[in-house]
Amino acid sequence: MNSYKDCNNAVDEKKYLDECIFVVKEQSFYMKQALENGSLRDTLKHASNMLCELRTSHLSPKHYYELYMLIFNELQHLDNFLSDKKKHKKKFIDIYESVQHAGNIIPRLYLLIIVGRNYIKNKDIKAKYILKDMTELCKGIQHPLRGLFLRYFLIQMCKDRIPDTGSEYEEAGGGNIDDAFEFLLTNFYESLKLWSRMNDKIIKIPSMQEEQIVNNRVKVLKEKMDVKMLVGSILVRMSQLEGMTKQYYLEKCLPKLLLYLSNINDSLIQQYIFESIVQVFSDECHIYSLEILLNAILKINTSLDFKSILITLLKRLRYFIESNKYELPKEIDIFHLFYDHLVLYVNRTLDYNGKTAYNANFDGTNKYKTSNLDYSETYRNAEKVVLTNNGSSDARNNYANNNYASNNCASNNCASNNCASNNCASNNCASNNCARNNCASNNCASNNYASNNYASHDVNKDGNNDGNTNNSTNFIESTNDQISSETLGYYDSTEQPSHVSSNGKNNKSSLNNTNNTNKQYNCNYDNNHSYNKNIYKNNCSSNSNNRNEDEYVQNVVKILQVIYEFIFLCIRLYDDVTISKLFVLPYTIVSNVNLNNDMICEQVISIIVLPFNYLGLNALKGKNMQVLLSNIIDKHKKKLSLNIIDAIIECRNKTVMYENVEEILKYISSIFHEKVNKNEDIFNLENNSITYISEKICKFFHIITNTNDIDQKYNICMLFYKYIENSSYIVHLLPTVVFTLLHIVTAIINIEAGNSKNSNNVNNNRNSGSVNNKGANNSNNNDRNNDRNNDRNNDSNNDSNNDSGSNFFLEKKEDTYDEASYDKDRIAPLVEYHNDSVDEKVISKYNMYVKNIFKFIHTNLQEVASQIPVLTFKLFLHSAVVVNNYYYFVQTHSFISFDNLEAICYEFITQPLIIYEEDINMSSQQFECIIWIVGILCSYITILENENYDNIALKLTQHANKLLKKKDQCLGVLKCSHLYWENKKYRNSTKVLECLQKSVKNAEIAMQSNNDNIILYVYMLQKYVYYYEAENIEITEESLNYLIHICQEYCTKSSSNNNNSPFKQEFIQTIKYIQEKKKNSNTFAKINVNAVPLRVE
């Protein structure tokens, strides 16, 4: 590492690296030549010359790593040579001793490690002795960067030579798991000490500007993080030990790691190591050591970014439980463990800016108290307790209660002797070993220390691939690649407190603008949380306050993220009652912070929405949940509303209570009154925010109305309409409400049929106790009902030109509206009556509901008819069908009265005709609407008086005869002929013939303009055949023969190229049908089809 005294005249690292690489390649060439000649002496000589390049102090960690990897790859040739005794024919003890005579210590130790690796493999001596010897000799390198790389080389070369459980070196008596762990632990601790000394090289020179000092410090911090993978790889290898069982981890591994970590008074290192421990060791180990780990995080350092560590730990546990469905041990209470600690963390975060802290634990007790125990003594006690009690739960509890009973991590022994500073704000911090410009007192919490300038940097990732490098090290590097900006804020090894931004972009920008940033360098925090500030060079106090406020916001956001992950984990583990108690913590924060800050508000919204994803509307039962919802400011309410709607849609728990619906509509009502751009086309389905939001709201509406209780469903519909009545979304949402209301009427119509059909099943379920099965069946049926509603809603939101949507009712008529064949299985789940007879009062009440529903539909559909004419046209017809069915329901219940149902049905049919005349102008839509209404009248309407029906039929026939195209006129009138035949109540054979004759005239006129319209004659022939077979006395054989003759004539005249035309295909199929009928009966005996050719080439 450079001292940066001569930073302006620093060596060009790239040029210097190229020179080193040239020397390495040159010496490696000679080394390989010596290997080919079998000369071990020359081989070691050239290898030593090559390794001398690693003695440099002019390279940054990134370039040094590049040089190291090049040399590492070249040394593999030497390793392969030494592993084959037939090539060098020497004893390993002699080689092991000879390499120690190298003149320089760097090449001496690297060569010693290579030889020692092969010495262990030869098993001439116990592995543990060689490993211990090499570990001790490596202490000869005390330069931080060179020492770290040397330790990294030792671990990588010997990772498969340690006496792990079940390894060949343990069987040979080379040691056991204790020796393997001790080897890794010792190197880990030595690496920590080297790493912690990397920022001791910042030396302030009187002539240097303050900006230069800041830049140098930032550069050192970046370099410090560039080498984190070298330390993390040791933990990776430690976690991969076969002997690293849960018990061994609890009894020996974790206590020693925490003990050594407490001796390194550097929050940056502690942050990384804690996150690495959470990442690399098994989930089972974390579950059983959870209390120890949480207390250690709480105790070790006030400036430690506990929030990032907790987030990583919570995510790790949640993923493990989700993927393995792991049943937690009964003696481990994750909820209370995390909750008690979160209370302390919330206090610490709020107290940072002088806010009122939440001072009550979940169970109302004060479990944690202040303690001034020495860290090292604390961890020794932890190790002693765990070892004595074999990792039992009682031991851990005792350990937590006695040694970690603290909510204040300040300690009088934290101010180590390495805290020297030329600008020290405390007399207790004097020392000659720390080059820094800011020093805290023994109990420093540093809430005012502005550290935004020391943001995170990109970590060096060069040279990750090599033959002998453990791939697991990539895991450490990747998972911890973006160290939070909070940790980089703790640039000094003895600096206790700091809170900085976690936003990566902001961090990078602050890095690039350090020359323009004012920095506060002195802080002192006494036991009463009072601050004394000394500011360099007239720093502006307002800027300092802004920085502190930004830091506070970042800390609040982080603690909210921790709470979010905690709630997420608890949702996976506990019931609704436990989860409902979790919102005290976010409420405490919300009541003490300014929600005008977008970052804080967005994080609060994510916490609010999370339980809706898993609990549905039951999330409203959470303590303080409704208060949280109320505290969201207006500008964020739309986002909150949409997120809650999305969460409820995705939630599998569809339980609906009217009270919950009433509450949730109150909180999301702001979305209904959003101002809409009047120039925006509301029916432009592409890139339209109104359509997008309407679709979400419709889905949400189907969920809140997905209940078996008719009263509740009706009330929810009426309540929902109150919120959307004056909304800009009314046009999109009203069809969905209408469909649901009509579905309620249909359910009432089938209430007795459903009850009688399911009464036996209900009794059987009661007798057998199959409550769960019944619930499952009801759930499936509800899903089917919901699917039907969704289909209808999709139709209501689609363009009226969509043919598939237009034919929905006609295609589904047998399943939905035919009284004789109605699918009662779909309606039965809506009925929750278990008595054999239906209460008259209930039916009378439902009759009032139906009256209100019909009035509601008539009034509201008229208001939106001009905006959605085609859809309103279809809704009125659908309502007429329901009215027709309800008429027969009233007839079977003499105790209820509903006058003028026939008039209501007639009104619901005439309204579509009015809409047709006034608002539907496109010819294609007109033709489609005629098809629709003809189908409805023929199949479902039976209660109209003959005079009213004839008036409607006549009006429809006239509209069909006035269509724009003659072809459409022909087909439209042809369809209208069914109005006088299909329904026996209104059958009139003479009117049928008149319609057919009018169609023939229209076809003749159409043929004059386009010969392709000849197919109209085939359609008329098919219709004549239909009525003739149905014994309509007005249809004669002469008419059929006339049409056959015309079609036959056209077939004869047409060229052979048109043999596969639609006309010929249809005509031949019709003739075949007639011929089949002639063979089986005498009905078509007088029809002449013998001269018609039937083969199409």
φ, ψ for residue 524, nearest 5 deg:
-140, 130
Distance spanning both ends of the chain, measured CA to CA = 92
Residue 786 placed within a domain: no
pLDDT value at 596 more than 50: yes
Does one domain contain both 456 and 541?
yes
What angle is formed at CA 758 by the lines to CA 757 and CA 759, rounded to 5 degrees? 100
Averaged pLDDT score across all residues of the chain: 74
Residue 641 placed within a domain: no
Residue 968 placed within a domain: no
**How do residues 302-321 score in pLDDT, each as one tens digit?**
677 778 888 889 998 888 88
Structure confidence at residue 794 (pLDDT):
42
pLDDT value at 510 more than 80: no
Does one domain contain both 169 and 91?
yes
Residue 406 placed within a domain: yes
CB 913 within 8 A of CB 955: yes
**How do residues 491-506 score in pLDDT, each as one tens digit?**
333 333 333 333 333 3
**What letters, b where the CB count within 10 A reaches 16 and e where it falls short, cover 92-112?**
beebbeebeebeebbbbbbbb
CB 660 within 8 A of CB 718: no
Structure confidence at residue 298 (pLDDT):
80
Higher pLDDT, 557 or 192: 192
pLDDT value at 1084 more than 70: yes
**How do residues 823-862 score in pLDDT, each as one tens digit?**
333 333 333 333 445 688 999 999 999 999 999 999 999 9
pLDDT value at 7 more than 50: no
- Which contiguous run of DSSP H or E holds residue 532? strand 531-535
Domain boundary, last residue among 542, 567, 592: 567
What mean pLDDT do residues 804-811 have?
Answer: 34
746/292 Cα distance (integer angstroms)? 62
What does the block give as tokens for 824?
A: 């009662």
pLDDT value at 818 more than 50: no
Residues of the domain holding 191: 11-197
**How do residues 459-489 score in pLDDT, each as one tens digit?**
333 333 333 334 333 333 433 333 333 332 3
Residue 1026: CB partners within 8 Å, gap ≥ 6?
A: none
Does one domain contain both 388 and 505?
yes
Residue 605 placed within a domain: no
Structure confidence at residue 1078 (pLDDT):
85
Does one domain contain both 191 and 290?
no
pLDDT value at 757 more than 90: no
pLDDT value at 586 more than 70: yes
Does one domain contain both 289 and 171?
no
- Rounded to 10°, the helix 267-280/228-239 angle is 30
Higher pLDDT, 675 or 882: 882
Does one domain contain both 170 and 272?
no
At 53, the pLDDT band (50, 70, 90 cuts) reads very high
Does one domain contain both 156 and 276?
no
In DSSP terms, 535 is beta-bridged to 520
- Among the ranges 285-294, 406-415, 577-586, 792-801, which has the highest mean pLDDT value? 285-294
Residue 627 placed within a domain: no
Structure confidence at residue 434 (pLDDT):
33
pLDDT value at 578 more than 90: no
Structure confidence at residue 838 (pLDDT):
60
Structure confidence at residue 676 (pLDDT):
61
Does one domain contain both 83 and 181?
yes
1092/1097 Cα distance (integer angstroms)? 14
104/107 Cα distance (integer angstroms)? 6
pLDDT value at 158 more than 70: yes
Structure confidence at residue 686 (pLDDT):
52
- Among the ranges 537-541, 577-581, 924-928, which has the highest mean pLDDT value? 924-928
pLDDT value at 444 more than 50: no
Burial classification of residue 1004, based on how many CB atoms lie within 10 Å of its CB (0-12 exposed, 13-18 middle, 19 or more buried): middle
pLDDT value at 1004 more than 50: yes
DSSP percent split of the chain into helix, strand, coil, nearest 5 = 70, 0, 30
Counting the structural domains of the chain, the total is 2
pLDDT value at 983 more than 80: yes
Percent over 70 (pLDDT), the chain: 68
Residue 1008 placed within a domain: no
CATH of the domain at 160: 1.25.40
What does the block give as tokens for 625?
A: 């949940």
Structure confidence at residue 783 (pLDDT):
44
Structure confidence at residue 553 (pLDDT):
82
> Would you tell me how many other CB atoms lie within 10 Å of the CB of residue 916?
21
Give 297-363 as a DSSP string. Answer: HHHH-TTS-HHHHHHHHHHHHHHHHHHH-PPPPTT--HHHHHHHHHHHHHHHHHHTTTPPPP---TT
**How do residues 330-362 score in pLDDT, each as one tens digit?**
788 888 888 888 888 888 777 755 554 444 443
Structure confidence at residue 779 (pLDDT):
38
Tracing tokens 């996150």 back to the chain, one arrives at 275
Three-state SS at 85? helix
Residue 892 placed within a domain: no
Higher pLDDT, 80 or 174: 80
Does one domain contain both 176 and 309?
no
- Find the range with the poorest average confidence among 341-350, 605-614, 723-732: 341-350
- Find the range with the poorest average confidence among 404-413, 904-913, 1012-1021: 404-413
**How do residues 931-943 score in pLDDT, each as one tens digit?**
999 999 999 999 9
Q: How many CA atoms lie within 13 A of 709 on its CB side?
A: 10
The helices-and-strands tally (H runs, E runs) of the chain is: 50, 2
Does one domain contain both 175 and 307?
no
**How do residues 365-396 score in pLDDT, each as one tens digit?**
334 333 333 434 434 444 433 333 334 334 33
Domain boundary, last residue among 173, 197, 221: 197
Higher pLDDT, 668 or 1094: 668
Higher pLDDT, 802 or 176: 176
Beta strand residue intervals within 607-715, DSSP E: none
Domain boundary, last residue among 197, 214, 242: 197
Three-state SS at 242? coil
What mean pLDDT do residues 412-417 have?
Answer: 34
Does one domain contain both 306 and 178?
no
What mean pLDDT do residues 423-436 have?
Answer: 34
Give 846-897 as a DSSP string. Answer: HHHHHHHHHHHHHHHHHHHTTTSHHHHHHHHHHHHHHHHHHHHHHHT-TT--
Structure confidence at residue 384 (pLDDT):
38
pLDDT value at 20 more than 90: yes
Higher pLDDT, 680 or 790: 680
Does one domain contain both 181 and 316?
no
In DSSP terms, 525 is beta-bridged to 531
Give 1035-1046 as a DSSP string. Answer: --HHHHHHHHHH
pLDDT value at 280 more than 70: yes
- Identify the CA nearest to 639 among candidates 605, 600, 612: 605
- Find the range with the poorest average confidence among 344-358, 452-466, 602-616, 646-660: 452-466
